């Protein structure tokens, strides 16, 4: 999929930045936040769903950019069509992009509850720890896949549930299905 989008995006700096964040995957992760909010079974204005999805989307864009920054040597060989190996943008620009996305996500999260903002900070921290050496979890198969599963599935669903005013710790069925879905993703990613 990345090759397809990189063929049409990534010809100039703006479209290269769009491609760097892998927005096609970010949309899917954002849908998990909206799904988590719907699982709270509360009446929530549409703008809350959209803002929650946008926050998750921004964290995903930043995490993808950060991952590409630290994988640029590997991508030079395995994915030379990506914006950093192609040289369309440099690592400084990619860092600014990632920092801007993380900052916007956190600032938007402040419009909601303290717990929601805290969850966004945890997601930002986990995505950074996943990519940044010497902590880099992505090269540690078990820990890397677990961190990816927790951040992609568990935190996205939790964020949506909290965003809609639900308390995930008092909802047994929500905890059960969210954990089951996260573990399924984790086990699939191990194979």
Give me the residue spans of the domains in the chain.
Answer: 2-190
Q: How far apart are CA 78 and CA 40, in angstroms?
A: 42
26-47 pLDDT tens trace: 898 888 888 888 887 777 788 8
103-156 pLDDT tens trace: 999 999 999 888 889 888 988 998 888 888 877 776 677 777 777 777 777 778
Q: Which residues contact 180 (CB under 8 A, 6 or more apart)?
A: none
Q: How far apart are CA 76 and CA 38, in angstroms?
A: 41
CATH of domain 2-190: 1.10.357.140
Note the pTM of the prediction, 2 decimals.
0.85
């Amino acid at each position: 999929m990345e090759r397809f989008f990189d063929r049409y995006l990534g010809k100039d700096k703006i479209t290269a930045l769009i491609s760097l964040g892998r927005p096609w995957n970010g949309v899917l992760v954002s849908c998990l936040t909206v799904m988590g909010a719907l699982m709270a079974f509360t009446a929530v204005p549409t703008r809350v769903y959209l803002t929650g999805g946008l926050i998750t989307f921004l964290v995903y864009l930043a995490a993808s950019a950060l991952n590409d920054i630290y994988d640029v040597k590997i991508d030079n060989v395995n994915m030379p069509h990506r914006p950093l190996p192609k040289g369309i943008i440099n690592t400084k620009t990619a860092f600014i992009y990632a920092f801007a996305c993380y900052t916007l996500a956190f600032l938007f999260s402040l419009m909601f509850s303290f717990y929601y903002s805290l969850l966004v900070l945890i997601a930002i921290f986990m995505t950074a720890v996943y990519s940044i050496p010497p902590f880099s979890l992505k090269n540690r198969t078990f820990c890397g896949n677990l961190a990816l599963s927790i951040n992609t599935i568990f935190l996205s669903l939790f964020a949506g549930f909290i965003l809609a005013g639900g308390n995930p710790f008092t909802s047994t069925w929500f905890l059960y299905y969210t954990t089951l879905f996260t573990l399924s993703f984790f086990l699939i990613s191990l194979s």
